[in-house]
A and B are shown apart, each in its own frame.
Chain A
Amino acid sequence: MNRRNFLSAGALSLGALSFNNSLRADAQYVPGTHFPAKAKRVIFMHMVGGPSQLDLFDYKPELIKYDDKLAPDHMFKGKRLAFIKGHPKLMGTPYKFEQCGQSGQWISDRMPHLKKVADELCFVKSMCTEDFNHGPAQLAFHTGLNRNGNPGIGSWMSYALGSENKNLPPYVVMVSGKMPGAGSALWNNAFLPSVHQGVELRSTGDPILFLNNPNGMTKAHRSKIIAGINRLNQKKYDHVSDPEILTRMAQYDLAERMQSSVPEISDLSTEPEHIRKMYGNSQFARHCLLARRLVEKGVRFVELFNADWDHHLNLDKRLGSNCKEIDQAQTALIMDLKQRGLLEDTLVVWAGEFGRTPLKETRGGKNENGGRDHHKEAFTIWMAGGGVKKGTSYGATDELGYDVVDKKAHVRDLHATMMHLMGLDHEKVSFRFKGLDQRLTGVEESHIMKGIIA
């Protein structure tokens, strides 16, 4: 087999798994959907630290009524809380909520822009998780397991569906602000082949690590070097006919193509000014615009991490500035996707790793306003596009926003549902490891949230 035949046989995607690899032939997973997909790609926005659902989306007038009153026993006695000690007080939201759009979705005044697209959004108000510390909860939210060692949802999607664009990585990650607590483990491929690891698009230095040629090396010179490498590799292949060499050669060609495709896509100056204005100026805004450009080019899974939503104290000041940073951009992203006809088959998910308590947390410091502790019992996320019901609210919490009382949705239910929308049966997307067909949703039963599917 010569190189051209090999390539035209279509056996190669962005990073073909090693031919000589250790997998048994029968364990090779063939990427593809199990049934028609409603969404083809995902933009996953992860608000690191756990944004307060009670000050943004989950409107609780009763809680406002009892603001600053001692909390009833069942909300803290015998409960495990990360930081609150003693007998806490309740904390009503200080913000104004209003019903928005024709669908009448509740959104607080912290997110004035988002109100404009209320009719596109589907709120899930009944999320729950099992961990109340950032590291484990973030791992669980991404990998289904609260310890290190499993691949994240982006890696699973890349593994399950492959890539639509051969010149860009299938799974791209961007981080605004500090790193999430669990670090790069959140987009690590773990036991899946490393082609499926999230590739970080960076804001400083090379857009992708090691993408840029060394200082002063011209594009033409790099091309020549790659041609030389491949000429010698071809000679070796002619001698030993090891297909692994052909893959290696193709990866060098691809690396070269990425050297133009990645800067091209990261260069926002080619966007018309009114579009850039629409997104705004923050780093997160840049990432939202990049996310749109990436999904437009067929990148399967784009994840945006935004730091610092861990408002134990001084919630008032900090929540406001966080919202300011993201509100305009996230809204612009929805509108922009919509005006391009991309929203239909792009699933947008906005979530933190857990929510925040209706209980007030203070640590008795000077000039310190209260905040809220980590809350795993109930929190809110929203989704849009990609086969999700528009202008809907799914599930509910009790009057004080402590527990889920309707349509409880575990993190693994969200994972199963996201896979379902992508045309995947979450029970069939598996990888043989440690004697088990490992799955994102693990061994416990998960339920697809049928009520949110359009």
Chain B
Amino acid sequence: MRSLAMLLVTLSTYGAVDFEKDIKPIFEKNCYKCHGEKKQKAGVALYKKYLAFQEADAGEPVIIPHNMESILLEVIEEEDEDFRMPPKKALAHAEIELIKKWIKEGAVWPSDEKAPPEKLHWAYIKPEKKPLPKVSDKAWTKNFIDYHVMNKLEAEGLKPEERASSETLIRRLSFDLTGLPPSLALLDKYSKNLNDQNYEKLVDELLSQKTFGENWARHWLDLARYADSNGYQRDGFQTLWPYRDWVIKAFNEDKTYDQFTIEQLAGDLLENPSQDQLIATGFNRCNTLNLEAGTDIEEDRVKQVTERVNTMGTVWLGSSVSCAQCHNHKYDPFTIKEYYQFYSFFNNTPIEAEEVDEKSSTLRYAGNGLMLDVEGVDPNFYESSKLELNKLEKNYQGKLKELQNSKKNIKINEARKIHQKSFKKNVVLNNLWKQIEEHRKIVAKHTPVYVEVMKEMDTARNTRILRRGNFLDPDQQVKSAVPKFLNPMPAGAPENRLGLAQWLTTKDNPLTARVAVNRFWREFMGTGIYESLEDIGQQGEMPTNHNLLDALALDFMENNWSMKKLMKRIVMSSTYQQSSVVSDEKRAKDPFNRLYARGASCRLTAEAIRDNALAISLKLSPKMYGPTVRPVQPDNIWRVTGGVDNTYRTSKGEDMYRRGLYTIWRRSAHYPSFANFDAPNRSACTVKRSRSNTPMQALTLMNDPVYVDIAQHFAKRIQLLAKSDKERIQKAFRLCTSRHASDEEQEIMLDILNNGESSQYDKWFTLATTLLNLHETISRD
């Protein structure tokens, strides 16, 4: 063996290295197992010239002619066995020398084979307008959606289902648009005659409800990873609810998707941004922040920036750009360099954590809070009132000390107790206390709210590629830019987040509209046109109806990115209005309804299940906006380790019964009934929730004190619905399912009622809880 190598050296030292004779055998013997035709570890392939000379996963080629710092040389000469190549047995000295000489001479590799021309993945090519496809059943088609769907159905030999019943459609629309059940009045108004004209009227009516914005904000907040705490060990609270309110309003105003995007990604960079446009940037302050003592502040900052890039990639580009954080994307054309060019856009915001002092490693929030300008709130007045309040409290405590003849300082709460117990009639104390109470109210009213927003630093940070994503291993410097294989930045767009947002929302961007329409489509139709919602790239699923996807995307852009118009387009189609009831045979043919030959039947989301039950029992508060609320939850859920307040103060009055999206979202101690119904803890961007079906859900609906309370209220309501049991039953059933009960169902309910008496829970409770637990009650067909 060794003698052969020696021989090679002897032969080759005198002439130029011959690839075929000298180098290829070394590669074959030592490298092909991992870098040959079958496997290309780390994106390194040494069996074809064009592959060996192209960029590997790490972002540069392993062989660079004439370059003695080529990575190939580095790894074969590495002394640390953990990093050396080949890993098990090092190359012989002579072999290394040969390879060195070969590279020095220019790595001559006689081969003409060129990389096959790259065919750009469909999703990276702009959608193009095409004529409507031909269909034979034109009577069914209401708009372009139906042409595309029918075209597929005819090709597959499937027939669409009948239009669903009026009541089913009213319920479907009501939940899909507002997230709430239709009232009996709405059912009565439309169920008798839901012709096309009335159907459209109903759609418009629902689209204009304020509850529409609440429903779609809920959906968007999953993408925005909106939560009320920082996550990780400290998991302290962050104020972002004004951002949540901004989202609700944006949907209600039908803010166009391009503007919606620009304000959230770069509202602060607009000219003279309004307060609302600043609040909108809360989108990128929703991500996690690690304030655990001892955290490396820069490491966590880098994590935050990458998280912002990755979320932008998922939400707008529908792409797993995060794969390129450590190496070139294995399947899609994103390079590591391009990743850090994206990163550069987000790399100029101030640090968010700081050490409390030099000695300790305790961290605190460094804040870039924006003090909200709220009508009727005067921060100056707040400051002066607070000073005044302090003075009053001191006087009060002092007076009490005097009365007690004591030298010990007394805390204000204790002082109050002593006052009430022993000096109830003391005029001075009473007066002081009255003033204290007044001032407390003033202070509470004028307490300014600071909301987290994005802010660009005056001096930009330099951005470097981070080798393998490691923040301690920076490589070459890069500038903000967008990937080469996608549309260029629009003319005149600035090289900052604003420019990036404009780039995302030009009509030349092949991804943004497709990714968005597919997400909306899934909420209405149950499954996406491609189901890998978070990945439209090479590894994603091919759309089951490519033309439909493109037509929707084009229509969305032609309508100037109006989200309401897009939704209306979808719900006006015959496709959407189909019945979800199918024969077993047809179900077997398309079990996941990927061709849309029926309507979708879906379990409601966690929040909608609770909102629905509250609405049925007449407990739902219509109050909108404002700080988060804390509905009843079992004891001992908040047990967070970090030095933050774990007291869960249940809200009072109607705040206990607000819509789910106002519930406090604590990342490390998720509201349990929502967690049980697949609501994410929102530590990361969530594109789609699963719709599982578990015993924990049954237990939640039967025993969660919230649902027991709701059932009790519903039980009372049922009795007031009518005079006869029969009528009560009918109405109660309709409140839960939006339809009339069949005779058989009525019989069962009467039977339940008549046998439902027990000591503590009367028959009405039995009936109420039964109805609230029905599969149909927590679904929309």
- B positions within 8 Å CB-CB of A: 231-235, 288, 290, 292-296, 303, 307, 314, 319-320, 322-323, 331-332, 359-361, 522, 526-528, 531-532, 534-535, 537-541, 580-581, 583-584, 587, 591-593, 600-603, 634-636, 639-642, 667-670, 672-673, 675-678, 681, 683-684, 688, 690-700, 702-705, 708, 742, 744-745, 748-749, 752, 755-756, 758-761, 766, 769-771, 773-776, 781
Contacts and interface: CB of A to CB of B under 8 A. Distances in A.
Contacts of B231: 135, 148, 185
Contact of A184 (B232, B361, B669, B693): B669
Contacts of A395: none
Interface in A133-184: 133-136, 147-149, 169, 175, 178-184
B361 A82 contact: yes
A434 B703 contact: no
B171 to A, nearest CB: 14
Given A21-B692, A82-B294, A232-B770, A194 B760 contact: no
Contact of B694 (A15, A148, A175, A212): A15
6 contacts: A20-B600, A22-B522, A183-B667, A210-B634, A229-B773, A434-B314
A236 B775 contact: yes
A132 B684 contact: no
Interface stretch (A30-38, A89-97, A249-257): A249-257
A248 B541 CA distance: 29
A229 B774 contact: yes
Nearest first, the 6 closest Cβ-Cβ pairs linking A and B are: A183-B668, A181-B233, A148-B683, A82-B294, A435-B535, A135-B232
Interface class of chain A by DSSP: loop
A398 interface: no
B290 A22 contact: no
Contact of A236 (B359, B591, B774): B774
Interface string A419-448: 000000000000011111000000000000
A397 B531 CA distance: 48
B770 A217 contact: no
Given A184-B668, A193-B692, A242-B601, A232 B290 contact: no
A149 B700 CA distance: 24
Nearest to B677: A194
A240 interface: yes
Contacts of B705: 214
A228 B766 contact: yes
Contact of B361 (A20, A83, A136, A229): A83
B698 A251 contact: yes
A18 B693 contact: yes
Contact of B752 (A25, A210, A228, A258): A228
Contacts of A432: 532
A232 B741 CA distance: 10
A85 B691 CA distance: 50
A134 B690 CA distance: 29
A18 B691 contact: yes
B699 A22 contact: no
B758 A251 contact: no
B684 A147 contact: yes
A52 interface: no
A172 to B, nearest CB: 12
Given A18-B690, A436-B320, A235 B744 contact: yes
A181 B642 contact: yes
Contacts of A148: 231-232, 288, 667, 681, 683-684
A116 interface: no
Contact of B699 (A23, A215, A255, A434): A255
Nearest to A234: B748
A254 B756 CA distance: 22
Interface in A200-234: 202, 204-206, 208-218, 220-222, 224-226, 228-229, 231-233
Contacts of A202: 636
B534 A136 contact: no
Interface of A: 1, 14-25, 80, 82-83, 85, 132-136, 147-149, 169, 175, 178-185, 188, 193-195, 197, 199, 202, 204-206, 208-218, 220-222, 224-226, 228-229, 231-233, 235-236, 239-242, 244-245, 247-249, 251-252, 254-255, 258-259, 307, 363, 374, 432-436
Contacts of A220: 758
A149 B296 contact: no
Nearest to B306: A147
Contacts of B670: 184, 188
A21 B766 contact: no
Given A16-B693, A22-B688, A228-B752, A135 B233 contact: yes
A244 B781 CA distance: 12
Nearest to B733: A232
B540 A435 contact: yes
Nearest to B361: A83
Contact of A17 (B295, B537, B692): B692
A206 B592 contact: no
Contacts of A180: 641
A169 B49 CA distance: 55
Contacts of B332: 435
B690 A25 contact: no
A179 B693 contact: no
Given A232-B745, A255-B702, A133 B292 contact: yes
A185 B684 CA distance: 11
Given A179-B668, A251-B695, A255-B702, 18 more contacts: A16-B693, A18-B691, A24-B531, A24-B592, A85-B359, A133-B290, A134-B641, A135-B232, A147-B684, A214-B705, A216-B760, A218-B759, A229-B770, A240-B781, A248-B693, A435-B332, A435-B535, A435-B538
A236 B696 CA distance: 22
A427 B296 CA distance: 32
A315 B360 CA distance: 18
A371 B526 CA distance: 56
Contact of A225 (B288, B668, B692, B766): B766
B702 A225 contact: yes
Contact of A217 (B634, B672, B758): B758
Nearest to B636: A204
Nearest to B752: A228
Contacts of B684: 147-149
A374 B699 contact: no
